[in-house]
A and B are shown apart, each in its own frame.
Chain A
Amino acid sequence: MADTLTGPAHQAPDAVPEFPMPRESRCPFDPPPALKELQGQGPLAKVRLWDGSESWLVTRYAEQRALLGDPRVSADTDQPGYPTKASPQAGEGKLSFIMMDDPEHARLRRMVTGPFAVKKVEALRPAVQRIVDGLIDDMLAGPAPVDLVDAFALPIPSLVICELLGVPYDDHELFQENTKTMVRTTATPEERGAASREVAGYLAALLGKRIAEPKDDLLSSLAGRVTAGELDHGQATEMALLLLIAGHETTANMIALGTLALLRHPDQFKLLRESDDPKFVAGAVEELLRYLHITHLGRRRAVTEDIEIAGQVIKAGEGVIMVNEIGNRDPEVFADPDRLDLTRDARRHVAFGFGVHQCLGQPLARMELQVVYGTLYKRIPTLKLAAPMEDVRFKNDAFIYGVHELPVSW
């Protein structure tokens, strides 16, 4: 049972820290100091969660990859010992295959991976470039300061995933607002459940339309699976919901938080602004993904069979939390890990997770970020923060880390 975990030798039983831990307010891009301290002590530590239960925290890169790649860990939130992020989301159900294990996970995931293949995503680059240029044109034509989150960071991934799924962007307020509620840790289970049901209801109706009249989009492809009897309507709706949500808050937060990080590191900002080399921009994206870890609450799993790792046995029925944010700052893997260095080779980061659940949208996220980081600072070279740094509100209260708003001028 989680309450009787035996911690690593260096950890006194009465010294089980709570997770998540607070960040140092002056270092909003760095993991919490207490987390770094635990990493320094060893690859595994016990932590206490919101509901009083205990779980293993996996702090180092090698152990994080090993566990995320181990078939003896389960992503099923119903498994005993699964370390939940918050109270169960009332009436929400499961977010499709990211909360399932193989073989069903693999069957469902493979139904939607096609459009995210590297070359198919590459074919979308000109369209994404047009979207980015259009939004920059609008910002430059309008008054400053402007909130970069609302005017730029959120619309880009939102427009792109809508196009891919076949969801009309005109309805964006419905799913953008509800998605914000769904990823807010301080929302009540009822609020999150209601938000989730509203978007699911919307998508279920849209799916019905595509079953009757298919188009050339991912929703129609899911509709085809329903018609063929491979999915029921509910499963197809859940998958559409997963793709819509995952395509929003993640990339949007990387755009806004990345821009703020670059504004705070003028030498790195200059490198990116002055480079015409797509390879350098692609490398810069990898480094920003490594340096800024937006899934700050960690990848979570339940252990289904005893696993021996790092001189410790993690027992069946215990939870493990892989905080990739800190894995990406492991000094054994990345030299001088707390330094943002766009020239380093950061490709082995675990920002997208690892193992069979690794982010399936990563080629799309990468391409969008390459276009954004490769365009915004060239087109607005004088871009600057239009508020005191102390006033920027960070999303410590959300499942996905970032900034609530980012006032900028030029």
Chain B
Amino acid sequence: MTVGSPAPAHTTNPMHEEGNPAMKVELEADKCVASGQCVLAAMDVFDQDDDGIAILLEEQVGEDRLDDVREAVAVCPAAAIRLVDQ
């Protein structure tokens, strides 16, 4: 499922790719609708509070977690998660 899937909400800066593989996860909790999809995609990066609203467990994610976090970005129904270069 690569063709036509929504573009991941991150920007790629080739300057950073080799030196620092970690990326920063940004979560706008105000937008969260508590679907739980991010937790299902990356349980070690996201959790939910008592109201079901997403919380971030890890702000920096390494290369090995990027696929799962990108999945979380793609499936979030409220576009509340972004992955940014730093």
Nearest CB in chain A: distance from B43 CB, A: 8
Known: A61-B4, A356-B77. Contact between A118 and B33, CB under 8 A? Answer: no
Are A356 and B3 in touch, CB under 8 angstroms? Answer: no
Are B77 and A354 in touch, CB under 8 angstroms? Answer: yes
Interface presence of B81 (CB below 8 A) = no
Interface presence of B26 (CB below 8 A) = no
Contacts of A121 in B (CB 8 A): 36
Partner of B35, one of A110, A115, A347, A362: A362
Partner of A360, one of B1, B33, B50: B33
Are A118 and B36 in touch, CB under 8 angstroms? Answer: yes
How many Å lie between the Cα of A109 and that of B79 in the bound state?
Answer: 17
Chain A interface main SS type:
loop
Determine the interface band of chain A, counting residues with CB < 8 A from chain B: 35 or more
Interface presence of A69 (CB below 8 A) = yes
Nearest CB in chain B: distance from A363 CB, A: 4
How many Å lie between the Cα of A348 and that of B3 in the bound state?
Answer: 13
Contacts of A381 in B (CB 8 A): none
Known: A119-B39, A348-B74, A363-B36. Contact between A113 and B51, CB under 8 A? Answer: yes
Are A109 and B34 in touch, CB under 8 angstroms? Answer: yes
How many Å lie between the Cα of A246 and that of B77 in the bound state?
Answer: 19
Chain B interface main SS type:
loop
Are B53 and A110 in touch, CB under 8 angstroms? Answer: yes
How many Å lie between the Cα of A357 and that of B6 in the bound state?
Answer: 19
In chain B, residues 32-71, which have Cβ atoms closer than 8 Å to a Cβ of chain A?
33-37, 39-41, 43, 47-48, 50-53, 71
* Interface residues of B, count at CB 8 A: 26
Are A360 and B35 in touch, CB under 8 angstroms? Answer: yes
Contacts of B53 in A (CB 8 A): 110, 113
Are A348 and B77 in touch, CB under 8 angstroms? Answer: no
Contacts of B41 in A (CB 8 A): 347
Binds B, one of A159-167, A329-337, A392-400: A329-337
Interface presence of A309 (CB below 8 A) = no
- Encoded as 1 (CB less than 8 Å from any B CB) or 0, chain A from 151 to 176 comes to 00000000000000000000000000
How many Å lie between the Cα of A65 and that of B5 in the bound state?
Answer: 11
Contacts of A353 in B (CB 8 A): 77
Interface presence of B75 (CB below 8 A) = yes
Interface presence of A144 (CB below 8 A) = no
Are A116 and B1 in touch, CB under 8 angstroms? Answer: no
Interface presence of B9 (CB below 8 A) = no
Are B34 and A113 in touch, CB under 8 angstroms? Answer: yes
Q: Across the two chains, which residue of chain A brings its CB closest to B50?
A: A114
Are A358 and B33 in touch, CB under 8 angstroms? Answer: yes
Nearest CB in chain B: distance from A110 CB, A: 5
Most buried by A among B6, B33, B39, B47: B33
Interface presence of A124 (CB below 8 A) = no
Interface presence of A62 (CB below 8 A) = yes
Are A355 and B78 in touch, CB under 8 angstroms? Answer: yes
Are B1 and A118 in touch, CB under 8 angstroms? Answer: no
Interface presence of A310 (CB below 8 A) = no
Partner of B75, one of A61, A347, A355: A347
How many Å lie between the Cα of A121 and that of B43 in the bound state?
Answer: 14
Are A333 and B1 in touch, CB under 8 angstroms? Answer: yes
How many Å lie between the Cα of A344 and that of B2 in the bound state?
Answer: 12
Interface presence of A106 (CB below 8 A) = yes
Are A360 and B77 in touch, CB under 8 angstroms? Answer: no
Contacts of A333 in B (CB 8 A): 1, 3-5
Besides the known contacts A117-B52, A358-B78, 18 further A-B residue pairs in the complex with CB atoms under 8 A apart: A61-B4, A62-B6, A65-B6, A69-B79, A106-B33, A109-B34, A116-B36, A116-B52, A118-B48, A330-B4, A348-B1, A353-B77, A357-B33, A358-B33, A360-B33, A362-B36, A363-B36, A366-B40
B interface residues (Cβ-Cβ under 8 A, vs A): 1, 3-6, 33-37, 39-41, 43, 47-48, 50-53, 71, 74-75, 77-79
A interface residues (Cβ-Cβ under 8 A, vs B): 61-62, 65, 68-69, 106, 109-110, 113-119, 121, 330, 332-335, 344-345, 347-348, 352-360, 362-363, 366
18 A-B pairs with C-beta separation under 8 A? A62-B4, A65-B6, A68-B77, A106-B33, A113-B34, A114-B34, A114-B50, A114-B52, A118-B43, A119-B39, A119-B47, A121-B36, A348-B1, A352-B77, A355-B78, A358-B78, A360-B35, A362-B36
Q: Which 6 A-B residue pairs are closest in the complex by CB-CB distance?
A: A332-B4, A113-B52, A113-B34, A358-B77, A117-B48, A118-B36
